[in-house]
């Protein structure tokens, strides 16, 4: 019987590279691509099947920042499948960052200069937005939407011969310093992405206790987001024309980086 694998945010970056790697490891899977853009999802599905014709690949439309979309997708998945063996909670957003010049200059003379420039800690500020449901957009997308999806898919989890596995795509930029239980949506802060990633790490631990042995939650730091953060620090200092050329080039680097980090995530 084919293992059923659900991957959110599967149309690009880490999600797409993960799907490619999963089918390289086992093309006997049924892989379901959960994506916001149906057209891009179908394009990825076609590419995956072209490389692995014996695989089963399907798609489902979901925008994890929109609770109505999450509930609709969950109903569709419950209708299609009797179980889910693996769920990779990868979809997420990172608001366009702004360079903090003062932090950059002070970091140059800090003992933590290597750490700061490899993680972009404190160097970037981000502007978050509020969704139609009144939630901070980064929190809603990276954390809450996935949490609701998991709860709605509970009837499909742990129904196979072995426990289902939930794997969150975390990040090296997840830091306790950017997270507060008193402001868990990070509405008053300037690092919503880092806060959201730390929140999902905490949530993974809590879910592990809640599900007992029926489901095994975990997380893996893909690394591509950290690369994006670090590159943005340098990119913001370039001219507009240079940035356009850089983005085209760096997008290819990021995809290769995503592909190389999949081994650790697939093995979780």
Please give the model's pTM, rounded to 2 decimal places.
0.73
Structural domains in the chain plus CATH codes: 4-94+129-222 (3.40.50.720)
- Residues with catalytic function: 193
Average pLDDT (156-163) is: 85
**pLDDT per residue as tens digits for the range 188-221:** 887 888 888 888 888 877 777 667 666 665 656 5
Please name the helix (run of DSSP H) or strand (run of DSSP E) that holds residue 227, with its range, or none.
helix 224-235
Average pLDDT (114-142) is: 78
Task: Note whether 259 and 19 are within 8 A (CB).
Answer: no
Quote the distance between the C-alpha of residue 208 and its chain's center.
19
Would you state the pLDDT for residue 207? 77
Beta-carbon contacts of 15 under 8 Å, excluding residues fewer than 6 positions away, are 7, 8, 9, 88, 90, 91, 169
**pLDDT per residue as tens digits for the range 94-115:** 877 666 676 667 777 777 767 6
**Closest among 244, 204, 252, 245 to 227, alpha carbons compared:** 252
pLDDT higher than 60, residue 74: yes
Query: CB atoms < 10 A from the CB of 18, how many?
Result: 27
């Amino acid at each position: 019987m084919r293992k059923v694998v659900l991957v959110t945010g599967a149309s690009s970056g880490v999600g797409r590279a993960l799907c490619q790697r999963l089918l390289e490891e086992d093309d006997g899977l049924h892989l379901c691509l959960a994506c916001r853009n149906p057209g891009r999802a179908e394009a990825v599905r076609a590419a995956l099947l072209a490389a692995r014709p014996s695989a089963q690949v399907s798609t489902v439309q979901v925008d994890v920042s929109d609770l109505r979309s999450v509930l609709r997708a969950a109903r569709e998945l419950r209708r299609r499948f009797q179980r889910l063996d693996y769920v990779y909670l990868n979809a997420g957003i990172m608001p366009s960052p702004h360079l903090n010049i003062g932090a950059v200059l002070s970091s140059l003379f800090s003992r933590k200069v290597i750490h700061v420039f490899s993680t972009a800690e404190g160097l970037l500020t981000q502007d978050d937005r509020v969704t139609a449901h009144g939630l901070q957009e980064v929190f809603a997308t990276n954390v809450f939407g996935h949490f609701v999806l998991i709860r709605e898919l509970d009837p499909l989890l742990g129904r196979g011969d072995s426990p289902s596995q939930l794997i969150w795509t975390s990040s090296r930029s997840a830091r306790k310093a950017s997270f507060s239980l008193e402001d868990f949506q990070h509405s008053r802060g300037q690092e919503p992405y880092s806060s959201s990633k730390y929140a999902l790490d905490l949530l993974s631990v809590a879910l592990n206790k809640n599900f007992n042995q029926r489901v095994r939650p975990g997380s893996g730091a893909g690394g591509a987001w950290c690369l994006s953060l670090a590159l943005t620090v340098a990119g913001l200092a370039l001219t507009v024309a240079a940035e356009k050329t850089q983005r085209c080039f760096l997008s290819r680097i990021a995809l290769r980086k995503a592909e190389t980090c999949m081994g650790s995530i697939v093995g979780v």
